[in-house]
């Protein structure tokens, strides 16, 4: 296999793992072919010689991810049938259940399963097919479940195989079929009902033979397709021979014959589609969070808040404040810059046969021009491409010294991180008005419905975009000091807005830092909803980012403890501490892979 092929295989494997993470809701999931753990997924890419190999791999990866998401081990074991003979069918029923849920969740997953099962069905061979003894019950049951739950169309051979057993299955399952299909998302209901059905199934009532052997085989929740191998061993000999012949023929083909590039692109597309799952999580968070109207909300660039002359004046005011902090600012900025640049120092491998000429070896080369090991090559460093979003509470309670310090620190961070090739975005959030603004007026005109939800006009401000240089945005940071700007704070929606912006970025590492002085407050909203309406939404949004995404979120509370909302939170009592805390916390983030 060529270097190009190896590179593409790694991309394909990475794309599969990334998709599995999102599908399974387990961002700690890692690809591991050597040791199976709860946080590993086994992706074997030893044989990619024909299109069906790609289809199989994608379907199997989806199935493993869905098992992690939808199948609870304890529920599975608690409902395991007592009759050992029926356990292999129970495993098949559970596998079909979580795969059907995945198909409903994403069309791409459904397509992968359909294509793979069609491949399996079309590959099925039976040399003898005269009576029921020629078809293992597990084979027939899997076909029955594929037909009735996955809605896979069987071919002539598999229809004949199912026909020997179908009446037995229908007699026991038909009257429960609608219940089972309606309860795919309720594992307890589905599993307990299926277990009972299988226990009472006539075909298992008188089976005593090989009980101990089957019980040993069926204790785990393994792939049901691997059951009853002994029953089928003779039938599979000819098929194995055919497969070996096909494999030897396939070996003559290059992997590129089957468009690995296209498969990588296709899997990347699935990864993008799986972001729909993330959106569903957000939608679920917002189920209890109502918004009366968004028609008066505003996202505005800071330069549009004021004319350029006023912006320059406010920047000068901020610069005057900076003077008294100059010594500490320089010290803090240098500390962070040293920390980051230390991570980016170039490292080299020396005494190589080829690469760049090592100037320190010049005397040796002059003495012996043919001397080998006189070259060097730069090492690849594990320093991730990073973006930091700074989300600043622009509420009225931040007026005065807190907002001035926040603006100063945003300025310092932006300049310092930029020197170290770390992108910085600076955002602010407030409301357009006190007392609900146009949203409240609109509510009044519409007969004041009860519990209307959020009832004010949002104002979200972009002080500096991630791709905007500090020099171009420096005047914008002074606009935080604008008279009359700071009003109410609706934190949950602001965090969702900042999250939506940062998660679209291509950087590998993403950090969201929130500066706030306490709980979300909007008098108009809280006067017509429950007292914890805004607080509950903030908590849910933060937990979602902390537990379901790879974005690192931390908060700095000014004068208030915000650890009840954020797992990673620091409280400062004096606003003069803000600069030191921001710099030191960011510094610690870069010391290790994750913030602790």
| 263-305 residue pLDDT tens | 555 555 555 555 555 666 666 666 678 899 999 999 999 999 9
Closest CA to 546 of 519, 561, 566: 566
Rounded to an integer, the average pLDDT of 14-32 is 71
Matching residue, tokens 């999580």: 281
Angstrom distance (rounded) from CA 547 to CA 566: 11
Cα 401 off chain centre by = 39
Rounded to an integer, the average pLDDT of 370-390 is 64
Q: Is the pLDDT of residue 560 over 50?
A: yes
For residue 454, the cross-strand partners are: 291
Rounded to an integer, the average pLDDT of 229-244 is 43
Of the pLDDT bands very low, low, confident and very high (cuts 50, 70, 90), residue 244 is very low
Q: Are 588 and 595 in contact (CB under 8 A)?
A: yes
State residue 223's pLDDT score: 44
Q: Are 454 and 516 in contact (CB under 8 A)?
A: no
Q: Is the pLDDT of residue 179 over 90?
A: yes
State residue 286's pLDDT score: 64
State residue 329's pLDDT score: 61
Helices 260-273, 51-70: axis angle to 10 degrees equals: 20
Of the pLDDT bands very low, low, confident and very high (cuts 50, 70, 90), residue 506 is confident
In the chain, the N- to C-terminal Cα span, in Å, equals 42
Closest CA to 116 of 126, 128, 127, 102: 102
Task: Give 249-280 as a DSSP string.
Answer: HHTTS-GGGG-HHHHHHHHHHHHHHTHHHHHH
State residue 279's pLDDT score: 63
Cα 378 off chain centre by = 33
Rounded to an integer, the average pLDDT of 350-373 is 58
Angstrom distance (rounded) from CA 564 to CA 532: 13
* Residue 333 CB neighbours (<10 A): 18
Q: What global pTM score does this model have?
A: 0.54
State residue 253's pLDDT score: 33
Q: Pairing mode, if any, of strands 375-378 and 348-352?
A: antiparallel
HSE (side-chain half, CA atoms, 13 Å) at 526:
15
Matching residue, tokens 């009446």: 167
State residue 350's pLDDT score: 62
pLDDT digits (tens, 9 = 90+) for 60-76: 888 888 998 889 999 99
The 3 state secondary structure assigned to 419-453 is HCCCEEEEEEEEECCCCCHHHHHHHHHCCCCCCCC
Three-state DSSP state, 561: coil
Q: Is the pLDDT of residue 252 over 70?
A: no
> What ranges make up the beta strands (E) of 375-422?
375-378, 386-393
Closest CA to 292 of 122, 528, 31: 528
The residue with greater pLDDT, 187 or 422, is 187
Q: Which helix (H) or strand (E) holds 571?
A: strand 569-572
The residue with greater pLDDT, 123 or 333, is 123
State residue 61's pLDDT score: 87
Domains annotated on the chain, with CATH: 3-273 (no CATH), 301-341+385-591 (3.40.50.410), 347-378 (no CATH)
Q: Are 190 and 98 in contact (CB under 8 A)?
A: no
Rounded to an integer, the average pLDDT of 103-115 is 85
> Given CA atoms 512, 513, 516, 518 in this order, what sign does their dihedral have?
positive
Rounded to an integer, the average pLDDT of 424-434 is 94
Q: Is the pLDDT of residue 130 over 50?
A: yes
């Amino acid at each position: 296999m060529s270097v190009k092929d190896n590179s593409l295989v790694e991309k394909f494997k990475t794309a599969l793992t990334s998709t599995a993470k999102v599908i399974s809701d387990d961002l700690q999931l890692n690809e591991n072919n050597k040791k199976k753990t709860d946080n590993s997924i086994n992706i074997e890419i030893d044989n990619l010689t024909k299109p069906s190999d790609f289809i199989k791999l994608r379907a199997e990866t989806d199935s493993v991810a869905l098992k992690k998401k939808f199948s609870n081990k304890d529920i599975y074991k608690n409902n395991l049938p007592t009759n050992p003979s029926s356990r292999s069918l129970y495993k098949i029923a559970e596998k079909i259940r979580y795969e059907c849920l995945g198909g409903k969740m994403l069309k791409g997953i459904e397509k992968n399963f359909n294509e793979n099962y069609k491949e399996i069905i079309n590959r099925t061979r039976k040399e003898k097919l005269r009576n029921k003894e020629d078809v293992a019950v597990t084979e027939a049951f899997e076909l029955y479940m594929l037909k009735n739950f996955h809605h896979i169309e069987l071919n002539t051979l598999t229809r004949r195989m199912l026909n020997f057993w179908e009446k037995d299955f229908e007699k026991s399952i038909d009257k429960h079929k609608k219940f089972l299909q309606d309860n795919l998302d309720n594992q307890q209901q589905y599993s307990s009902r299926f277990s009972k059905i299988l226990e009472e199934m006539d075909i298992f009532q008188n089976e005593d033979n090989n009980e101990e052997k089957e019980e040993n085989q069926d204790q785990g929740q393994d792939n049901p397709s691997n059951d009853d191998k002994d029953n089928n061993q003779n039938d599979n000999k000819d098929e194995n021979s055919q497969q070996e012949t096909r494999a030897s023929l396939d070996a003559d083909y290059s992997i590129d014959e089957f468009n690995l590039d296209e498969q990588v692109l296709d899997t990347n597309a699935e990864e993008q589609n799986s972001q729909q799952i993330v959106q569903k999580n957000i939608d679920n968070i917002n189920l209890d969070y109502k918004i009366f109207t968004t028609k008066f909300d505003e996202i505005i660039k800071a330069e549009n808040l004021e004319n350029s002359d006023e912006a320059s004046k406010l920047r000068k005011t901020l610069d005057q404040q900076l003077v008294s902090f100059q010594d500490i600012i320089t010290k803090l900025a240098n500390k962070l810059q040293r920390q980051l640049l230390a991570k980016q120092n170039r490292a080299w491998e020396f005494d190589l046969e080829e690469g760049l000429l090592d100037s320190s070896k010049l005397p040796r080369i002059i003495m012996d021009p043919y001397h080998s090991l006189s070259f060097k090559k730069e090492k690849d460093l594990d320093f991730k491409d990073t973006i930091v979003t700074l989300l600043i509470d622009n509420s009225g309670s931040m007026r005065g010294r807190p907002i001035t310090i926040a603006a100063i620190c945003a300025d310092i961070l932006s300049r310092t991180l930029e020197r170290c090739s770390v992108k910085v975005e600076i955002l602010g959030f407030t409301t357009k008005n006190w007392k609900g603004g146009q949203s409240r007026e609109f509510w009044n005109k519409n007969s004041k419905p009860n519990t209307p939800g959020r009832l004010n006009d949002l104002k979200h401000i972009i002080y500096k975009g991630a791709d905007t240089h500090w020099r171009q945005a420096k005047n914008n940071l002074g606009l935080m000091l604008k008279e009359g700007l700071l009003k109410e704070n609706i934190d949950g929606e602001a965090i969702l807005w900042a999250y939506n912006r940062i998660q679209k970025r291509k950087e590998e590492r993403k950090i969201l830092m929130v500066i706030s002085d306490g709980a979300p407050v909007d008098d108009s909203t809280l006067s017509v909803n429950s007292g914890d309406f805004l607080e509950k939404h903030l908590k849910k949004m933060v937990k979602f980012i902390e537990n379901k995404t790879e974005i690192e979120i931390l908060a700095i509370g000014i004068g208030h403890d915000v650890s009840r909302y954020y797992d990673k939170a620091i409280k400062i009592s004096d606003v003069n501490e803000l600069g030191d805390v921001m710099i030191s916390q960011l510094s610690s983030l870069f010391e290790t892979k994750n913030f602790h």
